[in-house]
Amino acid sequence: MPRVLLPVGYLTRTRQRGPGPDTVVGMTPAESSTSRKSPVATPSVTDKLVSANRGYAGGFADPGMDAKPVLRVAVVACMDARLDLHAALGLELGDCHTIRNAGGVVTDDTIRSLTISQRALGTRSVVLIHHTDCGLLRITEEFRFELEAEVGQRPAWSVESFRDLDQDVRQSIRRVETSPFLLHTDDVRGFVFDVRTGLLREVSAEQITAGD
């Protein structure tokens, strides 16, 4: 059976693997000078993250915050690696909840997080962010059936793919506004982030799609 592949640029086509067993890399200068024949495993990406965390924690001071976001806002955005939410929106530690998934779509699980965000942690505003060149513009719901053909089981979840960014932002706004679980739906706004300019463009909730 053919393997299901996502479009180039959305997810990698093949799983990244570490170096082969005969590859000797990742030795520190000290190790390489004293034991050239002893292979040292290349640090995995997770190892690098853990190492970076040690540096982070070394300069970290307890900010003394509680868990309630200072700006009382929850941001729902795509998981895209080119979207640095805190930098793009001028957010600082403790300011907001960030809820991210493929597409930045409002699923049941997004509503779950927003409900907890509002009811347990006091947020009132919701900002929805899609972005240009999103991977979900390039796949379809057929992906679920392709998965079924490959693994013998169709996922219960929807792909939530979309063809029109603005229309999907509007749909996301409506899903938030019509959720019976949310306490605050009077300040819900949606945007498209341009990955090439870094600019946000607001999408009107009322705008009618004109075909492009």
- By the criterion CB under 5 A, which residues form the site for Zn ion? 78, 80, 134
Dist. CA 195–CA 205, nearest whole Å: 22
Query: 173 or 182: whose CB is closer to Zn ion?
Result: 173
Shortest CB 107 distance to Zn ion, Å: 14
DSSP conformation class of 165: H
> 130: closest CA among 86, 152, 161, 92?
161
Shortest CB 5 distance to Zn ion, Å: 17
Shortest CB 165 distance to Zn ion, Å: 10
Shortest CB 105 distance to Zn ion, Å: 9
**Which of helix, strand or coil describes residue 77?**
strand
Query: 31 or 194: whose CB is closer to Zn ion?
Result: 194
Dist. CA 43–CA 50, nearest whole Å: 10
Query: 71 or 195: whose CB is closer to Zn ion?
Result: 195
Query: 52 or 199: whose CB is closer to Zn ion?
Result: 199
Q: Is residue 119 within 8 Å of residue 97, measured between CB atoms?
A: no
Dist. CA 4–CA 154, nearest whole Å: 12
Q: Using N-to-C axis directions, what is the helix angle for 108-121 and 165-177, rounded to 10°?
A: 50
29 φ, ψ (degrees, to nearest 5): -55, -40
Shortest CB 202 distance to Zn ion, Å: 18
Dist. CA 144–CA 4, nearest whole Å: 9
Shortest CB 131 distance to Zn ion, Å: 5
Query: 80 or 168: whose CB is closer to Zn ion?
Result: 80
Q: Is residue 144 within 8 Å of residue 167, measured between CB atoms?
A: no
Which strands make up the sheet holding 96-101, listed edge to edge? 96-101, 73-78, 125-131, 188-193, 200-203
Query: 128 or 134: whose CB is closer to Zn ion?
Result: 134
